[in-house]
Structure 1
Amino acid sequence: MRVIFNEEMRQVADDMEQMAGAVSHAIKTAGVALLGPDLEAAQEVIDGDQAIDELESTVIDQCVQLLAKQSPVATDLRVVVSTLRLAATFERMGDLSRHVAEAVRRSYPDAPLPPEARELFAQMQAFLDTLADRLVDMMSERDTKVAERIIVEDDQLDKLHQQTFDLALSDKWQGSKQQMIDLVLLARFMERIGDHGVSAARRVVYIVSGFDPSKDPKDLEDID
Structure 2
Amino acid sequence: MITVFPEGAMQLAKKTTLKMADIVTESIQTSQSYLHSRDSEDYDVVMQLEEMVNKLDTEITSYLLKIMKQSGNSADVAETYTKTLEIVKNYERMSDLSTNLVELYNMTVEGRETFSEEAMEDIDTMYKLLLDMLHRSMKIYQNEDSAGYELLLQDEEYMDLIEDKYREKHFRRLADGICDTKFASSVFVDVLSTLERIADHGVNVARNVNSAVKMHSSGH
Name the TM tier (shorter chain): 0.7 to 0.9
Alpha-carbon shift at residue 76 of structure 1 (Å): 2.4
Partner of 1:152: 154
- 1:152 & 1:43 partners in 2: Cα distance? 34
Alpha-carbon shift at residue 3 of structure 1 (Å): 4.6
Could you list the structure 1 runs, at least 4 aligned residues long, displaced by more than 4 angstroms after superposition: none
Partner of 1:98: 99
Q: Provide Cα deviations, 1:75-126, integer angstroms capped at 9, x if missing partner.
A: 3211111111111111000110111112223332635522231111111011
TM-score by length of 1: 0.85
- 1:19 is aligned to 2:20: yes
Partner of 2:46: 45
**Is residue 43–residue 101 contact of structure 1 (8 Å, CA) maintained in 2?**
no
Partner of 1:162: 164
- 1:148 & 1:42 partners in 2: Cα distance? 35
Structure 1 residues 173 and 201, CA, compared in 2 at 3 Å: closer, same or farther?
A: farther
Partner of 2:205: 200
Aligned length: 211
* Equivalent residue letter for 1:42: Y
- 1:67 & 1:141 partners in 2: Cα distance? 23
Q: Which moved more, 1:69-78 or 1:106-115?
A: 106-115
CA RMSD across the alignment: 2.1
Instruction: Report matched runs for 1:1-224 at 5 Å.
Output: 3-108=4-109, 110-111=112-113, 113-170=115-172, 171=176, 173-210=178-215
- 2:212 & 2:137 partners in 1: Cα distance? 15
**Structure 1 spans left out of the alignment, 5+ residues:** 212-224
**Is residue 26–residue 97 contact of structure 1 (8 Å, CA) maintained in 2?**
yes
Q: Percent identity?
A: 21
**Is residue 61–residue 85 contact of structure 2 (8 Å, CA) maintained in 1?**
yes
* Equivalent residue letter for 2:127: Q
**Is residue 114–residue 184 contact of structure 2 (8 Å, CA) maintained in 1?**
yes
Q: 3-state DSSP class of the match of 1:88? A: helix
- 2:18 & 2:102 partners in 1: Cα distance? 23
- 1:48 & 1:137 partners in 2: Cα distance? 21
- 1:21 & 1:157 partners in 2: Cα distance? 22
Q: 3-state DSSP class of the match of 2:160? A: helix
**Structure 2 spans left out of the alignment, 5+ residues:** none
**Is residue 133–residue 155 contact of structure 2 (8 Å, CA) maintained in 1?**
no
**Is residue 50–residue 99 contact of structure 2 (8 Å, CA) maintained in 1?**
yes
